[in-house]
Chain A
């Protein structure tokens, strides 16, 4: 009896020690923190095979989580993918990132337009994923709800910012994106007016008709029928249209925002490994794979030739027309956030 007991205790002890060691000991590892669902594990395995490094791949689903991790200092990550505005800009301003040595990576792979729009931040950031913000809706249902008006407003922001139209469709569910930085600039574009009073007035009018604010859950809701119209990211929208052919994604004719997610190296990262990984990402093959899996285009121009039939790459003319979000001062951003929070909580006076 006692020998059996001892044997069991021994086994448990060994397993335990093994686990402890496994948890705390990582030889030559690179830590990557990426958007949920962007890189698939096959790609990571490929990279591991190529370089012999071990990859620890974590995911986040919003910029805030990433930023909180970075702000605590010593986040421990080697590569992160922040959205350019306002996050990455703010973060490089307060010195969270290592400057990037452009001679060590293949910058020539990147579409020049994106390097241009980065301007002074290109020291810290490499543009990588990009896309637009637009409207995703169930065409059939919307046609039914709006009847003749539909044709008129099909490609217009009227659908989400005009209260007459919202009144007709709000019963079927309309959602906006969650963050002020994604919605307010577009609203300003639609109103062609920057004044807070006008914006506030419009927000007050449309609030009763907005069911949800979500930056991620709308696909499920649209496909299930809980929503009929949602403000959406282009990548997610493209995935949704793949799933349900009734869904249509439109880039509003009034203009919209371009979003760019960048590659950045946090302070204190292992630079050599980070450069290795960046160069892996900048390869044509990798970029093609990512776009094929996620329908999110990358800035790697050589990958475009392989992706023509996917219909996700924006041509140069369209790109030039799209606006990047303005960089807000911190006071503006606090004000906007406050306005947005109050708006979301039904208490706009």
Chain B
């Protein structure tokens, strides 16, 4: 709730848009940074590339997370608990350390390259780090639980008798999946996707450590505008842009849904 105090000033550095002197209240809005944001191809490119990376990571998470969540939800109850707990252990270690693990694994002399060379799949070591690939792997790894848990909770709510009834009526498993399990778990999938996609957009640490200088995410642009170019208004504009474009629609959608639920 404190985050409601999100104040954003679109003025040159250190100048607030509002000032009060001589009994006069001045409002001086400066839209130049917003203008640059929408006109400069650099920012547009950056935003597009970060959307791309976030989308890839989201889809990757979905592809790994959905079968995993499904498999977990099919286990017996005590086993489910154990598996879930086991799944949590690595995600409770500091996230930097996990990223660091991937740095070691994916580096040119790292384990993955070593294995691939040993198996004669590749001859020259591949460069995993310093591109979108490494970043996506890191993101998928870090945000996987955010995908698995919502899907799992949606799946475990499905009444097994639906499935059973369909099976008894001679429905092939594929269609059971498509017609029953899929629609019923859709809410979980959507929640998971949102929980992965949005933080990925704003991720700073993973692209910084696993990517190269041309792997841009919105988080990284904000960071560099703020820290390197000392252009605070620009950083704020990008942040506002991010909120307007992605978070607000989500919020409105969410609100509508809550209202509908309330009516029911």
Q: Is the CB of A226 within 8 A of B230?
A: no
Docked CA distance A224–B230 (Å) = 35
Q: Which residues of B contact A342 (CB under 8 A)?
A: 42
A347 engages B45 (CB within 8 Å): yes
Instruction: Please determine whether B108 and A71 come into contact, CB atoms closer than 8 angstroms.
Output: no
Q: Give the chain A neighbours of B13 by CB distance below 8 A.
A: 71
A214 to chain B, nearest CB (A): 9
Q: Determine whether B229 belongs to the interface, using a CB cutoff of 8 Å to chain A.
A: yes
B228 contacts the other chain (CB 8 A):
yes
- Residue in A closest to B231 when the chains form the complex, CB atoms: A334
A6 close to B (CB within 8 Å): no
Complex formed: what's the CA distance from A344 to B107 in Å?
21
Cβ contact within 8 Å between A344 and B213: yes
A66 to chain B, nearest CB (A): 10
Contact with B along A224-247 (1 / 0, CB 8 A): 111000000000000000000000
Give the contacting residue for B107; candidates A179, A224, A337; CB below 8 A: A224
Query: Of residues B108, B213, B224, which shows the largest number of chain A Cβ atoms within 10 Å of its Cβ?
Result: B213
- The chain B residue sitting closest to A178, CB to CB, is B213
A152 within 8 A of B: no
Q: Does A155 contact B (CB under 8 A)?
A: no
Q: How far is the CA of A98 from the CA of B178 in the complex (A)?
A: 70
Task: Say if the beta carbon of B254 comes within 8 Å of chain A.
Answer: no
Chain B residues, CB < 8 A from A179:
228
The answer to whether A64 touches B109, judged by C-beta atoms less than 8 angstroms apart, is: no
* Cα separation A225 to B13 with both chains bound (whole Å): 43
* A224 x B227 contact (CB < 8 A): no
B174-225 contacts to A (CB < 8 Å): 212-214, 216, 224
A200 at the interface (CB under 8 A from B): no
List residues of chain B with CB within 8 A of the CB of A226.
Answer: 107-109
In the docked arrangement, what's the CA distance between A344 and B212, Å? 9
On whether the beta carbons of A345 and B213 are closer than 8 Å, the reply is yes
State A295–B261 Cα separation when bound (angstroms).
66
Contact of B228 (CB < 8 Å), options: A64, A224, A345 = A64
Contacts A211-B130, A226-B107, A226-B108 given; does A345 touch B214 at CB 8 Å? yes
Cα distance, A106 to B24, chains bound together (Å): 51
- Answer yes or no: B226 CB below 8 A from chain A CBs: yes
A224 to B228: give the CA distance in the assembly, Å.
29
| Binary contact readout B94-126 vs A (1 if CB under 8 angstroms, 0 otherwise) | 000000000000011100000000000000000
CB < 8 Å: which of A65, A178, A213, A341 contacts B227? A65
Q: Provide the residues of chain B in CB contact with A5, threshold 8 Å.
A: none
Q: Which of A61-81 contact B (CB under 8 A)?
A: 62, 64-65, 67-68, 71
Q: A213-B213, A344-B213, A347-B42 are in contact. Are A68 and B226 (CB under 8 A)?
A: yes
- Nearest chain A CB to B239's CB is how many angstroms away? 15
Distance in Å: Cβ of B127 to nearest Cβ of chain A:
8
Q: Which residue numbers of A lie inside 8 Å of B, CB to CB?
A: 62, 64-65, 67-68, 71, 173, 178-179, 211-213, 224-226, 334, 337, 341-342, 344-347
Q: List 19 A-B contacts (CB under 8 A).
A: A62-B227, A68-B226, A68-B227, A71-B14, A71-B230, A211-B130, A212-B213, A213-B213, A224-B107, A226-B107, A226-B108, A337-B229, A341-B42, A341-B224, A342-B42, A345-B42, A345-B214, A345-B216, A347-B45
Identify the 9 closest CB pairs spanning chains A and B, nearest first. A64-B227, A344-B213, A226-B108, A345-B214, A213-B213, A68-B227, A64-B228, A224-B109, A346-B214
